[in-house]
Amino acid sequence: MMGKKVKYNFYLWVIILILFVTTNYIYADNAISNLTLLGSPTFIVEPSSNSSSNLIFLRNDSLDDINISLFIEDFKSKITGKLLGTKITFKGTEDKVTEQIYELSHPLKPGNILIVRVDITNLWEAGQSEAVLLNNGEKVGSLTAIKYRLPFNVKLNASKHIGSKIVLNRKKTAELFLENNDSMTYPFEWELSINGISCSGSYVINPNEEISIRFNPNKNWFTSWFTNFFREEIKDSTLALTLQLTENDDNQYSLKKIIPIKAHLSYWAISCQNIVGTVIIFMVLASGGISSLMLYNWIPNRMRQLALKEKLALLANKTRDLSRYIDSRLRVGVRVERHRLFKVLVKHKFCSLELARIITQCDKRAENLRNKIELLKQIDMIFNRMIKVQSLKTLPTYFSKITRILSDTSDLLSHSELKEGEFQAAQAQITEAWTLTDKFGKPDQNFAQELANRIKIFREKFSDKGSIGRIQICKRIKDDMPGLFKVLNLKFLDPAKISPDDYSIIDIATFKLAIIRDFVLQVEDMQQADVHLNQLKSYLNLESWSAIHSAQLLIQQIKEGIFPDDIRRAIQLGNKAISIDMDPQVVRLRQPVKLSLRFHREELNQSAASDKFEYEWNFGHLNLIERGKEVSHFFPEKKEYTVKVEFKDADGKPVEDENGQNVILDKKINVEPSKYEKVGQRTKVEIVHFLIALSIALIGLFAGAKEQMLKMDVFGGLIAVFLIGFGADTIKNLLTRRQNENQ
């Protein structure tokens, strides 16, 4: 009983094993791969070469990536059942040619279609044969090959389609040129397929005939409208020629020939394609070049330009701080120079090939202007210091020296362009003036010796028997002003006995004695002396430097024989005796002009008496006021200005004419535009200049840029073209070379 049960179990397990193996075999044989072979690929074999080609289309119908490793088993004749020993070659989308096994470098994505061309050779058996297509050892489908005895030697005309090339334009009728090298007439259908989209028709070709098939290209073939601006789109395509057999033909299949073709697709007309493509490449190349210029030239230059404008703005504030102690020609000169530099910067735009050179020059001139303004500020400070010192202690010798030094310095700084070394000379003079101001109230043995020498000279001259003292006019002055002559003390003959506290007393006294000496020598008799003596004594009774200066002017008036009353009478006559002169005669916008009062009576112009009056100028804008017989000014707008001059006497009272009206002299001044080119005109010229120079540089780079477009995909090519323009030394040196030429 136990033996039967064991035997029964053994048979049961054998049956289960047989069923399992059989089921797996049946499942493996009939399994449907997720890689689908589209259609029923049929290879029509040419009898003369025993070869054929066709495309197979494989689609991934799964939800996952599929690794591709294709293998085609040997073709097997359906007539004899024998394997034919065919040679099979694959050519895929990666232009990789392999034999027997075709592997894709990357998995096939879900829903994607793989197109592979299969070439078979050595298929010698006539009739129908079949081969199995495997992927990774799994059956995908079957391929069929048919070999007829008809040669069907119809092919592309090699002289018209060199390299199996056909040119297709979207808006032009295309032509296929075929030739029949057989002695038979073939009715056939043709089908040109590109990307699975076909165009077809029927035709009959006679023995040894060449024909042209004209057709309109399918619009769906042309998809890359933008790419086609730069090059033709080249696509692998196939021309299928199918022999149309008669209904009584015994063959089961039509004779079909597949011819691979390189289709050159043109979306646009050739003229449009060349023009637009050239323009786009040129624009991208130009944008790269301009970006390079902006990064390496314009942006740095613009930053320098802004920094220089800020520097000029600071200089404007400094010029406004200059007081009226500074001569108007200097104050106006630095303001005009600052305006001129600012205008030069504005006139040269960002695209100017000379901008870097102009900025460098302006920066150098701005630095010179800053140095000049700093020197003027030092002069201003020296004058302010003299005023403060004068309120405490007057030292005419120092004041006279400082005034003379600063006058020479002002003359030096009045030059529009300072020569080499003039800045240093001006600074040395200002340093000398500073040194003199530092000596106020401090011991100075040399100055003490100078004062002692003066005392010695004046003691001799003003003694009763001296050359001046014995004159009657001098005796009268000594009687009227005995305190002034006490300085001629024997004590002051010894420099060691002169203390710093005595410097001011002796200095003022000796200056006054010198004025008395000149007065005595100038007047001819007591009657003439009486006319001016009271005025002279009024000056000498004061201790200020301005009083001493007024006394010196009085002596000069006596020498010249011209007095304030003469000047007053000339002023009261107005335009009949005095006029306003201009230099230059043509006044231009923001250019300095020197305005001066000119007495018609020539000897009045340089007279000391004219300095006793104040001349107040009003320029007719912004309530700007200047004082002096000669002033400098510039006008900010192109229009007519009315310049007026009002006259005031030594007491600050306006000079009135015979009718009791204030005398005011006026002059119309018409301001002309600057003789420099207008900004708009200069900008246009510089832009044209830049565009010509840039275009020449870009033309030299164009050939290389177009070659890059042909090598790469469109967007990658455009980036490469941009980088060619950006990195080209020719464009980078466009401004640098120009700058070096102008240096």
- What is the 3-state secondary structure of 206-251? CCCCEEEEEECCCHHHCCCCCHHHCCCEEEEEEEEEEECCCCCCCC
> pLDDT of 66-104, one tens digit each?
999 999 999 988 766 788 889 999 887 666 777 778 888
How many residues are given for the chain?
743
Same domain, 453 and 504: yes
Same domain, 64 and 88: yes
> pLDDT of 197-227, one tens digit each?
888 888 888 888 999 999 888 888 887 777 6
Same domain, 323 and 284: yes
- The answer to whether 316 and 338 have CB atoms below 8 angstroms apart is yes
Same domain, 134 and 170: no
Please tell me what DSSP assigns to residue 226: T
Within a domain: 8: no
Model confidence at 250, pLDDT cuts 50, 70, 90, reads very low
Two tokens, residue 282: 């040129």
d(C-alpha 44, C-alpha 119), whole Å: 11
d(C-alpha 671, C-alpha 637), whole Å: 7
Within a domain: 4: no
The pLDDT value given to residue 247: 46
The pLDDT value given to residue 601: 93
Task: Give me the CATH number covering residue 96.
Answer: 2.60.40.10
Task: Report the helix count and the strand count for the chain, using DSSP H and E.
Answer: 16, 26
Within a domain: 463: yes
Two tokens, residue 137: 């050892």
Helix (H, G, I), strand (E, B) or coil at 116: strand
Q: Which of 77, 41, 254 is nearest to 152 (CA)?
A: 254
Domain boundary among 268, 283, 312: 268
d(C-alpha 322, C-alpha 310), whole Å: 19
Same domain, 325 and 305: yes
DSSP class per residue in 348-366: S-TT-TTHHHHHHHHHHHH
Within a domain: 560: no
d(C-alpha 377, C-alpha 396), whole Å: 23
Phi/psi of residue 257, each to 5°? -125, 130
Same domain, 121 and 97: yes
The pLDDT value given to residue 582: 92
Full residue range of the structural domain in which residue 54 is found? 29-145
Full-model pTM: 0.57
The residue-averaged pLDDT of 114-136 equals 87
- What percent of the chain stands above pLDDT 90? 21
The pLDDT value given to residue 741: 46
Top-ranked range on mean pLDDT: pick from 180-194, 319-333, 443-457, 688-702: 443-457
Same domain, 284 and 248: no
Greater confidence (705 vs 555) lies with: 555
Within a domain: 54: yes
Say which amino acid occupies 289: G
Torsion-angle region of residue 375: left (phi > 0), alpha (psi -120 to 50) or beta?
Answer: alpha
Run of H or E including 140: strand 138-147
The pLDDT value given to residue 369: 86
Helix (H, G, I), strand (E, B) or coil at 99: strand
d(C-alpha 712, C-alpha 714), whole Å: 6
Q: Over the chain, what is the mean pLDDT?
A: 81
Same domain, 325 and 287: yes
> pLDDT of 591-604, one tens digit each?
888 999 999 999 99
Please report, for residues 38, 127, 312, 388, the alpha-carbon distance to residue 153 in angstroms, rounded to integers and kept in the order given: 28, 18, 89, 120
- The answer to whether 225 and 272 have CB atoms below 8 angstroms apart is no
Two tokens, residue 177: 């040129």
The pLDDT value given to residue 28: 41
Two tokens, residue 680: 């708009």
Model confidence at 656, pLDDT cuts 50, 70, 90, reads very high
Two tokens, residue 488: 């001629």
Greater confidence (246 vs 520) lies with: 520
Run of H or E including 214: strand 210-215
Domain boundary among 644, 670, 696: 670
The pLDDT value given to residue 517: 93
Same domain, 278 and 259: no
Same domain, 711 and 722: yes
Domain boundary among 636, 670, 704: 670
Cα Rg of the chain (Å, integer): 55
The pLDDT value given to residue 663: 93
Phi/psi of residue 563, each to 5°? -125, 165
- The answer to whether 148 and 162 have CB atoms below 8 angstroms apart is no
Q: Which of 567, 556, 476, 475 is nearest to 522 (CA)?
A: 556
> pLDDT of 284-312, one tens digit each?
777 777 777 777 777 787 788 888 888 88
- The answer to whether 450 and 443 have CB atoms below 8 angstroms apart is no
Model confidence at 682, pLDDT cuts 50, 70, 90, reads low
Within a domain: 6: no
Q: Which of 306, 303, 281, 307 is nearest to 294 (CA)?
A: 303
Helix (H, G, I), strand (E, B) or coil at 441: coil
Give the chain's domain count: 5
Reported for 312-318, long-range contacts at CB under 8 A and 24+ positions apart, including other chains, are 312/338, 312/341, 312/342, 312/345, 312/366, 315/366, 315/369, 315/370, 315/373, 318/370, 318/373, 318/377
d(C-alpha 554, C-alpha 539), whole Å: 10
Helix (H, G, I), strand (E, B) or coil at 639: coil
Same domain, 694 and 653: no
- What percent of the chain stands above pLDDT 70? 81
The CA-based angle 631-634-640, given to 5 degrees, is: 105
Within a domain: 429: no
Beta bridge pairs of residue 594: 583, 632
Model confidence at 27, pLDDT cuts 50, 70, 90, reads very low
The pLDDT value given to residue 736: 55
Model confidence at 33, pLDDT cuts 50, 70, 90, reads low
Please report, for residues 92, 153, 165, 264, 662, the alpha-carbon distance to residue 159 in angstroms, rounded to integers and kept in the order given: 28, 16, 11, 17, 109
Please tell me what DSSP assigns to residue 676: S
pLDDT value at 40 more than 60: yes
The pLDDT value given to residue 251: 46
Greater confidence (24 vs 79) lies with: 79
Same domain, 509 and 580: no
Q: Which residues contact 346 (CB under 8 A, 6 or more apart)?
A: 679
Interstrand relation of 42-45 and 630-633 (parallel, antiparallel or unpaired): unpaired
pLDDT value at 586 more than 60: yes
The pLDDT value given to residue 389: 76
pLDDT value at 676 more than 60: no
d(C-alpha 641, C-alpha 562), whole Å: 34
d(C-alpha 491, C-alpha 509), whole Å: 15
- The answer to whether 167 and 266 have CB atoms below 8 angstroms apart is yes
Greater confidence (275 vs 37) lies with: 37
The pLDDT value given to residue 711: 65
The residue-averaged pLDDT of 38-63 equals 86
Please tell me what DSSP assigns to residue 220: G
The pLDDT value given to residue 743: 45
Cis before 107? omega within 30 = no
Model confidence at 709, pLDDT cuts 50, 70, 90, reads low
Two tokens, residue 47: 């009898």
The pLDDT value given to residue 456: 93
Within a domain: 252: yes
Say which amino acid occupies 399: F
Task: Give me the CATH number covering residue 225.
Answer: 2.60.40.2950
Q: At what angle do helices 328-347 and 355-392 cross, to 10 degrees?
A: 160
The pLDDT value given to residue 679: 47
d(C-alpha 365, C-alpha 370), whole Å: 9
> pLDDT of 388-405, one tens digit each?
777 667 788 888 898 899
Cα torsion 357, 359, 364, 369: sign: positive
